[in-house]
């Protein structure tokens, strides 16, 4: 009988070992990384291709250079650029316009990847279609510097399209007026309410978003920036923004390093549209705006965006993971 039990133990030992091995393998993903082949890991990491990148560009924030960089790489990376010809976002508030836009984008994106850009407030595209695989991007600027640049831009233009007649060029006395002089006389082109730009671009088309100084609009803009945008950069870190953006959407920006030496006319592609005749602004003028609620909110939003961007860039640049080898060891978690 002892011999019989011994034979049974030997017979079932292999089955028991196989069972234990299978159980261990099933438990392994909960605790350890699994090695995958190079092609498999590349598919896992790089397979997320956004069919549509939406850039609701804020004026005077370096957006022309960003669009031109995309355009330069569009043929190489096989995508199209779709421009919404809107110069005043408040003329694009009708939901029927948004629905028409979404329908057009959905049809075009069936055939090609797409960059959609224009000066329009954030639109929830999912309200009209759940089938557009899209992501938002944007870039911001110090709100007072943006207003100063806009002030001189409408009077003197820029070096990118110098022959275009701007609205501020028709009145010689107003054209010669500096930004400081405008503030001293309470001019309409330098009014603090004109700072209320970047918050509504992120808040969206709801009525409360367009009430200057509305704290609810600020909170909505912050939430959208974090939850709805793949990346939001700031102009003072333009190169870093483009570097990280190229890392996040390589299907659009592969080859971006070769564009740094490209020029359009005499202007470098990465630094187009330098405003002409922009005079320095004294501290007393800055203090005038800093005492205004609208400036404080816009500055709060800008600093929030900058902090978020720098935090993401630092994690990307100085991550403890080796970016080159990350794809060789992908963590697979059990659902």
Q: 259-274, pLDDT tens digit by residue?
A: 988 877 777 777 765 6
Domain annotation covers residue 14: no
CATH code, domain carrying 180: 3.40.50.300
Q: Which domain holds residue 93?
A: 41-327
* 54-91 pLDDT per residue, tens: 999 999 999 999 999 999 999 999 999 999 988 889 88
Phi, psi torsion values for 245, nearest 5 degrees: -65, -40
Residue 166: the pLDDT is 46
Radius of gyration of the chain (CA): 27
Domain annotation covers residue 29: no
| Candidate list 31, 98, 117, 271, residue with the active-site label | 117
Rounded CA-CA distance 129/83 in Å is: 20
Domain annotation covers residue 106: yes
Query: Residue 3: is its pLDDT beyond 50?
Result: no
Provide the 10 A C-beta neighbour count for residue 124: 12
Average pLDDT value for residue range 1-29: 46
Torsion sign over Cα 297, 302, 306, 309:
positive
| Candidate list 31, 119, 134, 160, residue with the active-site label | 119
Domain annotation covers residue 23: no
Residue 44: the pLDDT is 35
Tell me, yes or no, if 119 is annotated catalytic: yes
Domain annotation covers residue 200: yes
Query: Residue 252: is its pLDDT beyond 70?
Result: yes
Domain annotation covers residue 186: yes
Instruction: List CB contacts of 278: < 8 A, sequence separation 6 or more.
Output: 148, 149, 152
Tell me how far CA of residue 105 lies from CA of 51, 90, 102, 117, 248, in angstroms: 10, 21, 5, 11, 22
Domain annotation covers residue 7: no
For the chain, how many structural domains are there in total?
A: 1
Could you tell me if 57 and 117 are in contact, meaning their C-beta atoms sit under 8 angstroms apart?
yes
Domain annotation covers residue 113: yes
Share of the chain above pLDDT 90, in %: 58
Rounded CA-CA distance 138/241 in Å is: 10
Phi, psi torsion values for 197, nearest 5 degrees: -130, -55
Tell me, yes or no, if 117 is annotated catalytic: yes
Torsion sign over Cα 144, 160, 139, 219:
positive
Quote the tokens at residue 264: 């359009």
Q: How many residues does the chain have?
A: 335
């Amino acid at each position: 009988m002892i011999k019989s039990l011994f034979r049974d133990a030997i017979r079932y030992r292999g089955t028991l070992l196989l069972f234990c091995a299978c159980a261990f393998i099933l438990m392994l993903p909960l605790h350890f990384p699994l090695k995958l082949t190079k092609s498999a890991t590349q598919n896992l990491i790089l397979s997320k291709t956004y069919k549509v990148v939406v850039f609701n560009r804020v004026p005077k924030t370096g957006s022309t250079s960003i669009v031109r960089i995309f355009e330069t790489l569009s043929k190489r990376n096989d995508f199209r650029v779709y421009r919404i010809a809107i110069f005043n976002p408040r003329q694009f508030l009708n939901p029927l316009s948004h629905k028409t836009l979404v329908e057009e984008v959905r049809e075009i994106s069936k055939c090609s990847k797409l960059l959609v850009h224009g000066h329009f407030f954030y639109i929830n595209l999912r309200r009209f279609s759940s089938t557009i695989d899209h992501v938002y991007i944007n870039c911001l600027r110090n709100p007072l510097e943006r207003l100063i640049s806009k002030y001189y831009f409408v009077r003197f233009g820029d070096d990118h399209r110098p022959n275009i007649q701007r609205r501020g060029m028709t009145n010689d006395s107003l054209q010669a007026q500096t930004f400081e002089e405008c503030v001293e006389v309470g001019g309409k082109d330098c009014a603090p309410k004109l700072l209320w730009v970047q918050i509504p671009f992120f808040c969206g088309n709801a009525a409360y978003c367009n009430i200057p100084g509305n704290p609810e609009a600020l909170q909505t803009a912050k939430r959208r920036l974090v939850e709805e945008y793949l990346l939001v950069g700031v102009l003072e870190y333009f190169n870093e923004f483009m570097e990280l953006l190229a890392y996040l959407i390589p299907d659009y920006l592969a080859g971006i390093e070769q564009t740094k030496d490209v020029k359009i006319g005499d202007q470098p592609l990465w630094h187009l549209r330098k405003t002409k005749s922009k005079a320095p602004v004294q501290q007393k003028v800055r203090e005038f705006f800093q005492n205004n609620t609208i400036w404080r909110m816009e500055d709060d939003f800008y600093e929030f965006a900058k902090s978020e961007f720098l935090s993401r860039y630092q994690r990307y640049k100085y991550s403890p993971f080796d970016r080159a080898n990350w794809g060789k060891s992908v963590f697979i978690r059990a659902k």
